[in-house]
Amino acid sequence: MKNIISITLAFMVLFSFSCKAQKVNYFSNNAFGNPITGNNGEYYKGVTYIAYQGEKEDPYVVAYNHKKKQWIGPYKAGTSLLGKTGSKKIDNHGKPSLVVDGEGYIHIVFGGHGGTKELGENSLGNYNGGKQIHVVSKKPMDISSWVEVDNLTPFGTYSQFLKLDNGDIYLFYRHGAHRSDWVYQISKDNCKTFSPKVSFLKAKQAKPTADCSDVFDSWYPSFEHGKGNDIIVSYNYHVCKNLTPHYGERNNCYYMTFDTDNNKWYNIKGKELKLPVTKEYADEMTLEINTGDKWVHNGTVALNKSGVPHLTFYQGEDDGSTNGGPKQLMNYIYTGKEWTGGATNLPSSARGEIKATSSKGIQFLVGYDQGKSGEVAWWNSTENLNEFAKKQVLINEEGGTFTLANFIRNAHPDAKMVATQKIKGTDYSRIFLLGDKGPVKRLKTEAEVLKLQ
């Protein structure tokens, strides 16, 4: 009798779900803290794979089968050392980066904020917490089970995968906390092994300032796939002062190109660079826009179809706060002799990605405040490359500003961007997959079963 009652109740629940079935714009709402990093999604053989930071700062993975119009997951892919100490502050430095290798296996690197002394000696920087961890799916194109692979240093943070046209996979990361070199490693065998670390941006003791005697040079770079097997890098300088609270002063915009076919780095004028790049050398060889006393946050860099680079970053005043005042989106293009551009007319809260189509065409996909809602929309350039008109709104949802990742690698038209929107009064966010037709929806009943409601 008890079994009959249980079965009856189960059918009643399922019937209730089917009656209430409706689609929601998000695919999960267990995204935790600041849950997405730059390269966290890839389209591969009909499926879009996405990684994000979920419960207790652990990595979660979800997939969308475009032909079947079916969501798979989310599944927990590993366990981070961050988010487990009971601290009320969410670390957010160990957000997962994802890549699909040439055999269809899915790789995620996550969990690092410089590591700790207990993990060994960090010869390229200092420590903070967590551990850089590499996991791979047990089967190709299957996100349901994962295995940890011990082939990377534990001292990474801001880990970012880049996959080139020839199949080589590059992993960029900062080798420790603020006062650490930026390095890269290469895998030519689908992430089974990686080459030795190469330091390309040097962190070192800097000259004392009026308010601090203990100052270090530090960096915040952004990486993009350039022409062919080139990697293009924009970066800004962080004046790392030993002060409490820690001030996030960053200045200037630098640019260089990594010709991976010849294993050489060049500045915008084609002069070969010596590694690692120091602050003095960067100012001499790779400084493109000197922002003076303005504070900046890194944006993205892109090439148009003619191979001409665009630099974007966010610039504002030092208003005495930890990260400076509100920052406006800046856009510059290289004419062959100099950089031209400046502030755009996009909303001051706009943050997102650039798509440079031609010398006279630029598009920004940005998230920003729109009254009481957050909105994600395409803005296209007009005659002036720093003036834009809103063209297509992909989503408008009541609530806060949307945060965007990088464009999904090899993106399907229906799934180009991952975006998150904070749930008011919580540490959680809803997470969305956006394409040309707007958000890829998911049945609310599925979300309820998966505890996503």
| Distance between CA atoms of residues 26 and 421, nearest Å | 10
What pLDDT is stored for residue 13 in this prediction? 44
238 belongs to the catalytic site: no
Average pLDDT of 198-226? Answer: 95
Average pLDDT of 104-132? Answer: 97
pLDDT, tens only, 225-271: 999 999 999 999 999 999 988 889 999 999 999 999 999 999 999 99
25 in the Ramachandran plot: left (φ > 0), alpha (ψ -120 to 50) or beta? Answer: alpha
What pLDDT is stored for residue 247 in this prediction? 87
Give the rounded percent of residues in the chain with a pLDDT score beyond 70: 93
Give backbone dihedrals phi and psi of 386, rounded to 5 degrees, phi first.
-115, 10
178 belongs to the catalytic site: no
Tell me: pLDDT of 451 over 70: no
Catalytic residue among 60, 105, 127, 158: 158
Where do we find the tokens 């998000």? 26
Q: Which domains are assigned to the chain?
A: 24-449 (2.130.10)
Q: What is the DSSP string of 397-443?
A: EESS--EE-PPPBT-BTTB-EEEEEEPTTSSEEEEEEEETTEE--EE
| Distance between CA atoms of residues 445 and 453, nearest Å | 9
pLDDT, tens only, 328-364: 999 999 999 999 999 999 999 999 999 987 667 899 9
Catalytic residue among 93, 107, 175, 412: 93
Is this structure's pTM higher than 0.75?
A: yes
What pLDDT is stored for residue 445 in this prediction? 54
Average pLDDT of 423-446? Answer: 92
What pLDDT is stored for residue 63 in this prediction? 98
| Distance between CA atoms of residues 125 and 204, nearest Å | 9
What pLDDT is stored for residue 6 in this prediction? 45
Confidence of residue 20 (pLDDT cuts 50, 70, 90): low
- The total of other beta-carbon atoms located within 10 Å of residue 104's CB is 15
**How high is the mean pLDDT of the chain?**
92
pLDDT, tens only, 379-404: 999 878 889 999 999 999 999 999 99
CB 71 within 8 A of CB 442: yes
pLDDT, tens only, 279-289: 999 999 999 99
pLDDT, tens only, 274-313: 999 999 999 999 999 999 999 999 999 999 888 999 999 9
Peptide bond into 35 cis (omega under 30): no
Average pLDDT of 66-91? Answer: 92
Average pLDDT of 84-110? Answer: 93
| Distance between CA atoms of residues 295 and 211, nearest Å | 17
pLDDT, tens only, 35-55: 999 899 999 999 999 999 999
| Distance between CA atoms of residues 449 and 258, nearest Å | 47
Give which of 341, 345, 344, 366 is closest to 355, Cα–Cα. Answer: 366
* Residue 16 structure tokens: 């209730």
